[in-house]
Chain A
Amino acid sequence: MPQSSSSGDRPSDRRRRLRALVDERRALLVPGAANALTARVIEDTGFDALYVTGAGVANTLLGVPDIGLVTLTEMVQTVEAIGEISSLPMIVDIDTGFGNAINTRRTVRVLERAGACGLQIEDQVFPKKCGHFDGKGVIPVGEMVSKVKAAVDARDDENLLIMARTDARAIEGLDAAIERAQRYIEAGADLTFVEAPVSVDEMRAITAQLAVPQIANLVVGGRTPLLPQAELAEIGFALVLYANTPLQAAMRAMSEVLGALKRDGGLDAVRDRLADFGERQRLVDKATYDALEKRYAVE
């Protein structure tokens, strides 16, 4: 249902809701959506928040890897489309802020107006250099501090959560990464996100040493232990991102179903794996639009 104008569901309400959920520090599970259909499924399944993933937008909208080809405009269009059909608070991946502190300022303002409730900004180098997909670089800490400050200054709604991510663990080690996160907190970050701790001990060190709510990112095949929610809550994480799980599931499902179609020339072997017509229309809320059509029918 179009939600944007209904009372009690303005972006400011969603932002308040997200802040309250974050403050509980109960390892809220946040699946990633790269498009509005995925957002529909996430909300339909009963999750309380979603994450708009830049990698997912690169993979699905453009069919390319996550190497910095997605533009701010494309992220804004994705966020607007999702906000139009979902009432969930959206945490938006803004990569490096799309440039320096001044670009970050514009990015924050544009995405706040588009309905974002949280923005995650990272300290990787932009633009990412060719052929260095594995060896990511980080910008000097002072430069990232000014980006975080620019982001905090740029928001209108103080409940728009600024989430500062550091990728320094893999390059400078855990202590340096925690030190960076501390600097980002002093610059005004509402949450921090120390990417890719490699053990439970490291995860505990992060939540023990940093005062603000923390984010864990669980990537199948990544370096961080895939702990259950209860254990992540006990360690003290506030948010747990499953940024690309829906996308990975959909990719596998499409390959297997299309593989069967190509092999068999028909769908008999996989029919039970397809959403039927009714399920599909329910998920995109056709009933609401049917009702609108009736209401505005020309006499």
Chain B
Amino acid sequence: MPSSEARSLRVQLGGDALVVAPGIYDALSALIAGQAGFGALYLSGASIAYTRYGSPDIGLLGMTEVADTLTAICDRVATPVIVDGDTGFGNALNVVRTVRTFERCGAQAVQLEDQAMPKRCGHLAGKTLVPAAEMAGKVKAAVDARKSDDFLIIARTDAIAVEGYDAALDRAELYLEAGADVLFVEAPRDRAEMDGIVARFGGRVPLLANMVEGGKTPLLDAAALQQIGYKLAIFPGGTVRAVSKLLAEYYGSLREHGGTGPFLDRMNLFDGLNEIIGTPGYLARGKEYDGSNFGGEA
């Protein structure tokens, strides 16, 4: 059940501690991540592409499909959700529709990037960008489209791999001027590049770091990222990389043994899973609304 104690993402980013947002891809993963104690969740477009369609992150996913997933998650958990808006699914006018839709669905932040459509994963080769000014217009469109200032616009640039490090930082500067609440310079290649990003922007705007296992950026933990000066760290794809390995082991074991016995100690049993998804609470609430409480027959 949604907890009323969840603190808004804007408030959390104003604090001293690094906010860590693990990747989620549906309401169950969101629920379990929230129960693990994370203060924010990251709904990854790549993870939706992987899990719902078994397809790579190459821009096949439509805005409506992300919105459906987001709605199911925000109906179930109160933990702030950051949603991956990819390119905004088109030009500045598409960004307007995307921002309004995602805000209404219940997200607390949307991440928009400066890749050309259709986009691809930030750690894949062969990315192309829209001109910096066009992206600045999209960021401004996003800022103008939101209803509440508590809905944050995270501007991401993919320019390091395409135009180089300095150009990427100049792009980030332009997006900050256009009104971005958080900056995300994607795929710095070493610790020095990460330090440089923080040196230029750290005092002015919260910065996001993206941890991709096997990606181009050094894989650091929360303590190290906080020490560098980041405010928000996402681990978007790690969840599916862990889940997919677990699934392969589970299916392999079932196939080999013809039963689940050997795997039982690695599973939630019937009651355990019901506890996670809140079945007892739902049943209790159902009883409260039973007709017998309203003068009907028991």
Contacts and interface: CB of A to CB of B under 8 A. Distances in A.
Nearest to B92: A130
Interface residues of A, number: 18
A127 B60 contact: no
Interface residues of B, number: 18
Contact of A71 (B89, B93, B137): B89
Nearest to A132: B91
B145 to A, nearest CB: 13
Interface string A38-79: 000000000000000000000000000001110111100000
Contacts of B58: 102
12 contacts: A67-B93, A69-B90, A71-B89, A72-B64, A73-B62, A73-B64, A74-B64, A103-B59, A103-B118, A127-B117, A128-B91, A130-B93
B60 A106 contact: yes
B63 interface: yes
A57 to B, nearest CB: 12
A99 B87 CA distance: 12
B295 to A, nearest CB: 25
B63 A71 contact: yes
Contacts of B90: 68-69, 126-127
Contacts, number: 47
Given A71-B89, A126-B117, A98 B94 contact: no
B97 interface: yes
A129 B60 CA distance: 20
Which DSSP category, helix, strand, loop or mixed, fits chain A's interface?
Answer: loop
Contacts of A103: 59-60, 118
Nearest to B62: A71
B213 interface: no
Interface string B51-75: 0000000111011110010000000
Top 3 closest pairs, chain A to chain B, by CB: A127-B90, A73-B64, A99-B118
Given A99-B118, A103-B118, A130 B60 contact: no
Interface in A207-229: none
Contacts of B137: 130
Contacts of A100: 118
Interface in A86-121: 98-100, 102-103, 106
B94 A127 contact: yes
A99 B63 CA distance: 13
Contacts of B94: 68-69, 127
A69 B97 contact: yes
